[in-house]
Structure 1
Amino acid sequence: MERKIFLKSLIIGAASTSALAAACKKDDTASTTSTGSSSASTPPSSSNGCAVAPTETEGPFPTHTPASYVRSDITDGRTGYKLTVKIIILSNSNSCNPLANAMVDIWHCDKDGNYSEYGGSGMQATDYTSVHFLRGRQTTDTSGLVTYTSIFPGWYSGRSTHIHVHVYNSSGTSLKVTQIAFPEGSGSAVAQVNGYSKGLTGYTYNASDNVFSDSYATEIAAVTGNTTDGFVLTMSISV
């Protein structure tokens, strides 16, 4: 899969909204352990019967110390429509069987499109550097499952609705950095939420998103529910 090049020069305080969108483009990164740094960039493979999740950039807002946020409820006071996130990790090298004891970090923006742990710059004006909402780590059970309680993400310029995921093995070695896309169109959860108070005017759909536009068939989740009862996202990720 073709990888787009990450910003060659990121100047904090001078970056514009368009720079934020560019900063979320795909890039090539180096393998790491569970410190929250980027993981190995490899193309998808289906040699063992299931498609390996595409490697995507962690974006400009990865969790600084993910091991500090081992929790299933990641709302941390943020308001929005309830979202239950169920992720199943599968092992491509083991006939797509569930991968137990894998560490799974997720993070996403709030209903207004802001991330915790960052801000006060041109990339995100609102300063949330001292808080840690919508970030968490869980370890997969014998079924390869982790479950989080969160809120439905909002959106920001240049990106469709999405969730970041970083998967490590039980020893803390990075296995995959990827992102989850949401179904769109009439009746979808994205349409029901309607961008919260922002609406969807100016929203970037998956087909035009600078991360998902090349192909998102293996990155799109199943999302059910409504704004009254909340939503449930289910996603299988092969590593």
Structure 2
Amino acid sequence: MHRDVESSRLRISRRRALALGGTLTLSGVLAACGGANTDVAPAAPTTAVASDIEPRLLALLDDAPRCTMAVEETQGPYWFDVDSIRRDLREDRPGLQMDLALRVQDARNCAPGAGAPGVANAVVEVWHCDAGGVYSGYEADSVAANSGTPSIGSPSSIITMSDGSYSLDDGQIPTTDDGTYLRGAQVTDANGIAQFTTIFPGWYTGRTVHIHLKVHIDRRTVLTTQLYVDDALSDGVFAGVAPYDAHPGRDTRNGTDVIFHDTGLMATVREPDRILAAINLGLDV
């Protein structure tokens, strides 16, 4: 269904979600818009309680590695506090739809064969570039970075990590435009799962394809990291899907990226009109 961008931005703030102590629910406040194919039944997902997360994504989560502790990685220079709880991040950005599921898990209590329990009411925040390698809020700077002349530092130069605190604008470089596309947050449900609808990220000079992520629990930032996809998937998208094919010359792959870590590699499935991606994020909570 159509969603007005301004209404989406004004629904519920991330800080309010944290202040309410996790009383928001995805089913009531954060209902998703449609657009997913449902013609093939997936394997039955293993969830503790009923969930509004798409069954195909639940099945992909269940097949993804569990009991693996997520690795802290730099937030990079393009984060800012967009402070918006919303599932659909696309706004006006063209690109191949990506439906993304993330499960926050208590890795300390992981049981063999059963996995780790999900962490409910965590706020999961994601942001990434568009199909041309451009970030909202920093369009001029990210265009310059693609030309090899970044003006606000390299993507690895901002090393803000999760130190247990949570404060407004922590590590934020002032934005240069008012864009908010491909940024937002969700509250995990009773099974510890959050779902987003976005587009497949593009690439920019010096970096492999990636999605930035933070997890906040009880007003504390407990994880800052980056997520990745298999190079073969990226190759297929960039070679044959518009508008990605208008941005040739990718110069960095997973194996040559100085930040890449395989614990952030997402499980993915490519469908004709979209990509499904899922990952379990093990935390010491």
Length-normalised TM-score, structure 1: 0.70
Counterpart CA distance in 2 for 1:131 and 1:217 is 31
1:125-204 equivalence runs, <5 A: 129-169=177-217, 171-185=218-232, 188=233, 190-194=234-238, 196-198=244-246, 201-204=249-252
Counterpart CA distance in 1 for 2:212 and 2:179 is 18
1:28-177 equivalence runs, <5 A: 50-62=67-79, 64-66=80-82, 68-95=83-110, 96-121=116-141, 122-123=144-145, 129-169=177-217, 171-177=218-224
1:202 offset after TM fit, Å?
3.4
> 1:16-46 CA distances to partner (integer Å, 9 max, x unpaired)?
xxxxxxxxxxxxxxxxxx7xxxxxxxxxxxx
Q: Is the Cα–Cα contact under 8 Å of residues 116 and 128 in structure 1 kept in the other structure? A: no
Counterpart CA distance in 2 for 1:153 and 1:119 is 15
Where 2:231 maps in the other structure, the secondary structure is coil
1:117 offset after TM fit, Å?
1.0
- Structure 2's unaligned 5+ residue stretches are 1-14, 16-65, 111-115, 152-174
Where 1:97 maps in the other structure, the secondary structure is coil
Structure 2 residue identity aligned to 1:175:
V
> 1:58-99 CA distances to partner (integer Å, 9 max, x unpaired)?
00101x224x31100000111100100111111123332111
Where 1:166 maps in the other structure, the secondary structure is strand
Where 2:139 maps in the other structure, the secondary structure is coil
Counterpart CA distance in 1 for 2:127 and 2:200 is 12
> 1:94-141 CA distances to partner (integer Å, 9 max, x unpaired)?
33211111000000000000000113344468x962110000100000
Aligned Cα root-mean-square deviation (Å)? 2.3
Where 1:98 maps in the other structure, the secondary structure is coil
**What is the aligned length?**
183
Which protein, 1 or 2, shows the higher relative CO under an 8 Å CA cutoff with sep ≥ 6? 2
Length-normalised TM-score, structure 2: 0.60
Counterpart CA distance in 2 for 1:197 and 1:158 is 18
Considering only CA atoms, is the larger Rg found in Structure 1 or Structure 2?
2
1:200 offset after TM fit, Å?
5.1
Where 1:233 maps in the other structure, the secondary structure is strand
1:198 offset after TM fit, Å?
4.0
Q: Is the Cα–Cα contact under 8 Å of residues 103 and 172 in structure 1 kept in the other structure? A: no
Q: Which has the higher helix share?
A: 2
